Structures are given as structure tokens and as C-alpha cells.
């Protein structure tokens, strides 16, 4: 097969045109919506998107104070969730910084993303318990770091420095 200069230019132009439709940027459908719990700020009000929270690199968790709660690495019977879904919610809570994350007498949903639900629980029983949202995120990050089975996670741990506020990562 003999190619002349015009044929080669046509092949190169066609190839480049077809490659221009290929995008390295993920489509919005690849990032499930991160939904804050009732009373917490929207992503838009924080200047964040679900994509930002899924692509954020998590800071390592740490515990500054001894907890009155021992981390558990088990699900509540509904199964484990993808780590990326749980991490997006933990990143959201971490971005709230020193905002108060309070839990009344009952369990509350702090965030949902994909299959993951992040709950806050008050194990003191009476009255409300609260911590900085960033400390709630540390408790959740400890679950992700310690309770990861082949990219799936479930479990519960105390918010950093507050053994009365338990952070659970569950599927239902």
C-alpha cells in the first residue's frame, strides 16, 4: 500500500479528530451525590462538589484522647459499603472543620454518598452530645483505615476525644 503525503495528513487529521472526543475527565455520573445530613451545610455553600469529595486525599486519622468506646469492624447486617463512598462523606465532615456536629438522643444521618450512610449516635442516652465535625471525621477515618476488607468498609468508632458520640459507617 502506497501512501502519499495527502493520505498521511488525512489519516493523522482523522485520528486527531477522533481522539478529541476522548476525555480524561470523569463524567458527573461517576460520582454519586454526597448528601449532607439535616441541619448541615450544603456542598454548594462550602464551595464543594461531590467530585471534590470523592477525589480528596484523606488525612491520616489520629486519636488525641483515650476513648470510652472500642472501635468495632462489623456491619449492622446490611453489608459493607465501597470505601470511596464512605471516604467522600468523611471528607465532607472534615471540610466542616470546627462546626458543631451534634447528635440528640437518637441516631442521626450525618451524610450519604452512594451506598454509604454515616450515622452519629449518642451513647450517653440523655441530652445532646456534640463534637467538632472534623473530630467526627477522625472517628470515621479510623473506621475506614482499620475496617477495610478489599475496598469495602463498615464499622463504628468514637469521634476524636468524645466517647459519647459514635460515628458509624453502614449500608442501611
Domain ranges of the chain: 28-170
Residue 81 confidence (pLDDT) above 60: yes
* All three cell numbers of 121: 449516635
Phi, psi of 9 (to 5 degrees): -65, -40
Element of type H or E holding 10:
helix 5-19
This prediction has a pTM of: 0.77
> Residue 167 in contact with residue 118, Cβ under 8 Å?
yes
pLDDT digits (tens, 9 = 90+) for 93-114: 999 999 999 999 889 999 999 9
For 157, other C-beta atoms within 10 Å of its C-beta total: 28
Query: Looking at residue 94, what is its pLDDT?
Result: 96
Say which residue the cell 501512501 belongs to: 3
**pLDDT reported for residue 6:** 45
Per-residue pLDDT tens for 117-141?
999 999 987 889 999 999 999 999 9
119/73 Cα distance (integer angstroms): 15
Amino acid at each position: 500500500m502506497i501512501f502519499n503525503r495527502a493520505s498521511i495528513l488525512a489519516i493523522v487529521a482523522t485520528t486527531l479528530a477522533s481522539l478529541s472526543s476522548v476525555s480524561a475527565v470523569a463524567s458527573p455520573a461517576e460520582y454519586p451525590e454526597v448528601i449532607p445530613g439535616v441541619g448541615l451545610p450544603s456542598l454548594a455553600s462550602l464551595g464543594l462538589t461531590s467530585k471534590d469529595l470523592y477525589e480528596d486525599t484523606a488525612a491520616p486519622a489520629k486519636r488525641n484522647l483515650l476513648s470510652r468506646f472500642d472501635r468495632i469492624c462489623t456491619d449492622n447486617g446490611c453489608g459493607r459499603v465501597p470505601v470511596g463512598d464512605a471516604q467522600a462523606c468523611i471528607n465532607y465532615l472534615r471540610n466542616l472543620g470546627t462546626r458543631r456536629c451534634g447528635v440528640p438522643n437518637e441516631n442521626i444521618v450525618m451524610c450519604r454518598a452512594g451506598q454509604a450512610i454515616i450515622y452519629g449516635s449518642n451513647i450517653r442516652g440523655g441530652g445532646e452530645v456534640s463534637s467538632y465535625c472534623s473530630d467526627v471525621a477522625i472517628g470515621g477515618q479510623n473506621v475506614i483505615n482499620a475496617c477495610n476488607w478489599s475496598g469495602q468498609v463498615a464499622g463504628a468508632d468514637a469521634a476524636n476525644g468524645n466517647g459519647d458520640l459514635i460515628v458509624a459507617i453502614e449500608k442501611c
